[in-house]
């Protein structure tokens, strides 16, 4: 598969009154055409800022992409003019957001919000755009589409609004859809519906997806490859079954252990990761996870481990990944 | 919609009745009476007694209130003085105690159109300057444009018209001689036409006077007072617009609009402006009511014979019917303005239903 997106050394910072917040600290990854990549990590680890930096949706000021390259379709998105990046946004790369309750404009009809990108990017007139909007709403499973176009967001439920957001994202046939925690604000049954919907649409349309979440349960169902982020850094990247079966970073292991599982019986306890993520203003020397890590050694506090490939598809940023690996093998290859 | 308006009007009736009652009670509670002085001489007690009897001020208060409200024919049967009031409910606001031979309806009919013209032009100027500058300041947030617009707005809010008015007169009227110093010069636009249809004996209805003939003289006279009043209003409107737009621009749906690749202009005009006008409209309502019914300071400084001075002078004069009449008029204006505000809400925000 051809590479669709290549991110190199992306660094984003926010210049606030309390100092410089190091939100994203030099991340690199690639994405193939039609691939689904999940980015996981806890709140504030830089997942959202990392993807919003790609299409320059970071509010400037206070935010700024201070270093890096984002290669998409032979161009570095960070070097495009404002006009050029606008032609990418919503057209080649579309984005759907976390909270469908607040992400739609309350005073405009769904139809207006759905058609404006098509009129802008595809040069459709009102009638054509409306016709396609009806098709899109049907595609994302909203019945009575023609009538519902004239309704306002408050007349839709949360799940329905997220379907509208997805329809909006797909309206210009993007090559890449960025989904920023699209299921987090929804209840579990609706979450499952939305995940299924996106999977189904991906099969039909074939766009690549970057799916951001903090829910490893959702990841397993949708992604082919997973990036784990911590404190603005990629700490581990692997194919999805490798990440669940053979996690190498103590943080990934911690995330997996803190996940509720149906197959372990009701007496199984969740094991939380103790402590808090580091302060992104006063960034620690050494590994940012060291203070919370069971496997740490002295070196972890002085030197931040670089991310290195352990197998051709699995990379990790940890001095002690072998110890994690050995322990898991001793436990019969399971992290339970 | 129609149902909403009807309901609002029905609701206004008890409100206005309460306003009438409390104003009546309060104004009578002030010590002194309308005939204590004539000029700077005090009147002999016998004359005062005569005058009070003429205007029924010696009657019991409940009877005075009753006849003010529903008219002399009901509450004061047998009055054959020929000056029987029809009562407020039928639109008769009674005679003025100070302006002999003039009724409160007369005073309002001549003064209100002038205040209305001044207020309307000032509001248009205020909105016309205030909203664009507020938007500009918000879009150029934390740049010199924002800071200078904010500075001007703060100046506009804090420099009183008592200062601004005379400064304008001194500079533009006296030094440069561009505009007349004071007074108002409105001729009714429809006077010629209306005369044909209104019999000479009949009083010219107020609406004829409201729309002025757009003469050069009219606008020259209006320029300075409208500018003074309009800039003061625009300062408040601009500050409100800026604050509100800055809040809206941080909303998630604005990010969504940007993620679609819309131009910043389209993002602001199509997605942000409508939302941000909701709080602005809230202050425009009472502002409208206040300005259209007359502004004391501006009208005084520019010697404009509007309604503003009657609000203030009538209290000093103990001219009870004028106090009541102007207060009621203001009450009606507030009720109508708030109704218009609510209708505007419904137009701006589909979540608001007029029920």
- pLDDT of B128 over the 90 cut: yes
Confidence of residue B194 (pLDDT cuts 50, 70, 90): low
- pLDDT of A290 over the 80 cut: yes
* H-helix or E-strand spanning residue A275: none
The DSSP string of B235-262 is HHHHHHHHHHHHHHTTSHHHHHHHHTT-
Evaluate whether B325 touches B333 at the Cβ level (below 8 Å): no
- pLDDT of B203 over the 70 cut: no
Total CB pairs under 8 A between chain A and B:
73
Q: Enumerate the domain spans of chain B.
A: 105-313
Contacting A with CB below 8 Å, chain B residues are 142, 251-253, 255-263, 266, 270-271, 274-275, 348-351
β pairing state of A314-316 and B37-38: unpaired
Under an 8 A CB cutoff, do A91 and B261 touch?
A: yes
Confidence of residue B193 (pLDDT cuts 50, 70, 90): low
**Preceding amide of B207 cis, omega within 30:** no
pLDDT at B55: 81
B241, HSE (Cβ side, Cα atoms, 13 Å): 29
pLDDT at B280: 92
Count of other CB atoms within 10 angstroms of residue A183: 24
- pLDDT of B42 over the 90 cut: no
Query: Would you call A41 exposed, middle or buried from its count of C-beta atoms within 10 A (0-12, 13-18, 19+)?
Result: buried
pLDDT at A193: 82
Confidence of residue B126 (pLDDT cuts 50, 70, 90): very high
Evaluate whether A218 touches A39 at the Cβ level (below 8 Å): no
pLDDT at B105: 85
Count of other CB atoms within 10 angstroms of residue A26: 17
Q: What is the mean pLDDT of residues A28-51?
A: 88
Bridge partners of residue B84, in order along the sequence: none
Chain B contacts of A94, Cβ < 8 Å? 259-260
pLDDT at A242: 86
Confidence of residue A297 (pLDDT cuts 50, 70, 90): confident
Q: Which of A295-309, B74-88, B145-159, B219-233 has the lowest mean pLDDT?
A: B74-88
pLDDT at B294: 79
Q: What is the mean pLDDT of residues B80-84?
A: 64
pLDDT at B190: 67
- pLDDT of A221 over the 90 cut: no
Q: Which CATH class is domain B105-313?
A: mainly alpha
User: In sequence order, which residues have a C-beta less than 8 Å from that of residue B149 and are 6 or more positions away?
Assistant: B133, B134, B136, B137, B238, B242
pLDDT at B192: 63
Question: How far is it, in rounded angstroms, from Cα A222 to Cα A206?
Answer: 14
Per-chain mean pLDDT for chain B: 84
Q: What is the mean pLDDT of residues B152-160?
A: 83
Q: What is the mean pLDDT of residues A53-67?
A: 84
Task: Say which residue, B105 or A269, is predicted with more confidence.
Answer: B105
Question: How far is it, in rounded angstroms, from Cα A237 to Cα A247?
Answer: 9
pLDDT at B214: 77
- pLDDT of A237 over the 80 cut: yes
Contacting B with CB below 8 Å, chain A residues are 55, 57, 61, 86-91, 94-95, 97, 99, 102-109, 116-117, 120-121, 152, 154, 165, 168
What is the helix, strand, coil percentage profile of chain A, to 5?
35, 25, 40
Under an 8 A CB cutoff, do B348 and A108 touch?
A: no
pLDDT at B199: 59
Question: How far is it, in rounded angstroms, from Cα A15 to Cα B154?
Answer: 29
Q: What is the mean pLDDT of residues A89-101?
A: 87
* H-helix or E-strand spanning residue B23: helix B2-29
pLDDT at A101: 83
The string of pLDDT tens digits covering residues A112-157 is 998 998 888 888 888 888 988 898 888 888 888 888 888 999 998 8
pLDDT at B6: 87
- pLDDT of B84 over the 90 cut: no
| B contact test, residue of A105, A109, A172 with most B CBs within 10 A | A105
pLDDT at B202: 58
Confidence of residue A181 (pLDDT cuts 50, 70, 90): confident
Question: How far is it, in rounded angstroms, from Cα B162 to Cα B175?
Answer: 19
Q: What is the mean pLDDT of residues B95-120?
A: 86
Under an 8 A CB cutoff, do B252 and A152 touch?
A: no
Confidence of residue B191 (pLDDT cuts 50, 70, 90): low
The string of pLDDT tens digits covering residues B212-256 is 777 788 888 888 888 889 988 999 999 999 999 999 988 889 989
- pLDDT of A328 over the 60 cut: yes
Pick B252's closest partner by Cβ from A87, A103, A168. A103
The DSSP string of A145-190 is HHHHTTS-GGGS-HHHHHHHHHHHHHTT--SEEEEESTTTTS-HHH
State the Rg of chain B over Cα: 24
Q: What is the mean pLDDT of residues B175-197?
A: 73
ipTM of the assembly? Answer: 0.85
Alpha-carbon distance values, A250 to A46, A236, A244, A284 (Å): 19, 10, 13, 18
Alpha-carbon distance values, B292 to A210, B121, B212, B298 (Å): 58, 10, 15, 12
Measuring CA to CA, which residue among A255, A259, A249, A256 is closest to residue A314?
Answer: A249
Bridge partners of residue A95, in order along the sequence: A178
pLDDT at B79: 63
Pick A103's closest partner by Cβ from B256, B263, B266. B256
Chain A contacts of B348, Cβ < 8 Å? 107
């Amino acid at each position: 598969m051809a590479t669709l997106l290549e991110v190199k050394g992306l660094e984003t910072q926010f210049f606030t009154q309390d100092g410089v917040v190091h939100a994203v600290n030099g991340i690199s990854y690639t994405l193939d055409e039609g691939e689904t990549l999940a980015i996981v990590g806890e709140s504030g680890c830089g997942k959202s800022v990392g993807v919003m930096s790609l299409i320059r949706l970071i509010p400037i000021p206070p935010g700024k992409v201070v270093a890096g390259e984002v290669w998409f379709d032979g161009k570095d998105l960070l070097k495009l003019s404002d006009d050029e990046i606008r032609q990418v946004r919503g057209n080649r790369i579309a984005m759907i957001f976390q909270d469908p309750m607040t992400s739609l404009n309350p005073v405009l009809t769904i139809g207006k919000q759905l058609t404006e990108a098509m009129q802008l990017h595809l040069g459709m007139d009102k009638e054509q755009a409306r016709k396609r909007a009806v098709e899109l709403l049907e595609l994302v499973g909203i019945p009575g589409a023609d009538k519902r176009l004239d309704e306002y967001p408050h007349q839709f439920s949360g799940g329905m609004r997220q379907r509208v957001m997805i329809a909006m994202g797909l309206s210009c046939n993007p090559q890449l859809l960025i989904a920023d925690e699209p299921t987090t604000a929804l209840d579990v049954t609706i979450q499952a519906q939305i995940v299924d919907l996106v999977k189904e649409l991906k099969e039909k349309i074939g766009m690549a997806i970057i799916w951001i979440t903090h829910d490893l349960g959702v990841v397993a169902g949708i992604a082919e490859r997973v990036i784990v982020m911590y404190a603005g850094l990629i700490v581990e990247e692997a194919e999805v079954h490798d990440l669940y079966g053979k996690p190498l970073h103590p943080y990934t292991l911690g995330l997996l252990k803190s996940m509720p599982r149906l197959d372990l019986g009701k007496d199984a306890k969740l094991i939380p990761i103790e402590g808090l993520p580091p302060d992104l203003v006063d960034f620690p020397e050494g590994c940012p996870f060291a203070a919370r890590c069971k496997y740490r050694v002295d070196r972890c506090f002085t030197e931040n481990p670089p991310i290195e490939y352990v197998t051709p598809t699995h990379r990790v940023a940890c001095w002690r990944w072998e110890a994690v690996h050995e322990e898991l093998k001793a436990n019969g290859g399971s992290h339970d | 919609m129609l149902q909403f308006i009807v309901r609002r009007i029905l609701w206004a009736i008890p409100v206005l009745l309460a306003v009438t009652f409390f104003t009546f009670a309060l104004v009578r509670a002030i010590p002194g009476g309308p005939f204590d002085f004539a000029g700077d001489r005090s009147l002999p007690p016998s004359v005062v007694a005569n005058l009070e009897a003429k205007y029924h001020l010696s009657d019991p208060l409940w009877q005075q209130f009753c006849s003010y409200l529903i008219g002399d024919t009901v509450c004061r049967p047998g009055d054959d003085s020929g000056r029987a009031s029809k009562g407020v409910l039928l639109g008769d606001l009674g005679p003025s105690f100070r302006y002999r031979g003039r009724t409160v309806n007369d005073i309002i009919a001549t003064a209100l159109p002038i205040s209305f013209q001044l207020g309307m032009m000032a509001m248009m100027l205020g909105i016309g300057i205030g909203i664009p500058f507020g938007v500009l300041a918000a879009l150029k947030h934390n740049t010199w444009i924002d800071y200078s617009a904010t500075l001007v707005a703060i100046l506009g809010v804090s420099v009183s018209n008592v200062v601004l008015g005379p400064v304008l007169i001194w500079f533009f009227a006296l030094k440069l001689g561009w505009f007349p110093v004071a007074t108002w010069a409105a001729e009714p636009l429809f006077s010629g036409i209306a005369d044909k249809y209104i019999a000479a004996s009949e009083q010219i209805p107020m609406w004829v006077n409201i729309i002025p003939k757009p003469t050069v003289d009219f606008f020259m006279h209006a320029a300075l007072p409208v500018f003074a009043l309009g800039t003061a209003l625009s300062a408040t409107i601009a500050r409100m617009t800026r604050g509100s737009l800055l809040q809206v621009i941080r909303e998630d749906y604005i990010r969504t609009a940007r993620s679609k690749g819309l131009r910043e202009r389209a993002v602001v005009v199509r997605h942000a402006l409508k939302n941000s006008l909701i709080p602005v409209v809230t202050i425009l309502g009472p502002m409208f009511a206040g300005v259209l019914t007359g502004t004391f300071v501006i009208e005084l400084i520019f010697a404009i014979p509007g309604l503003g001075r009657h609000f203030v002078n009538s209290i000093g004069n103990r001219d009870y019917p004028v106090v009541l009449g102007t207060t009621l008029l203001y009450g009606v204006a507030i009720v109508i303005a708030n109704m218009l505000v609510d209708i505007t809400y419904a137009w701006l925000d589909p979540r608001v239903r007029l029920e």
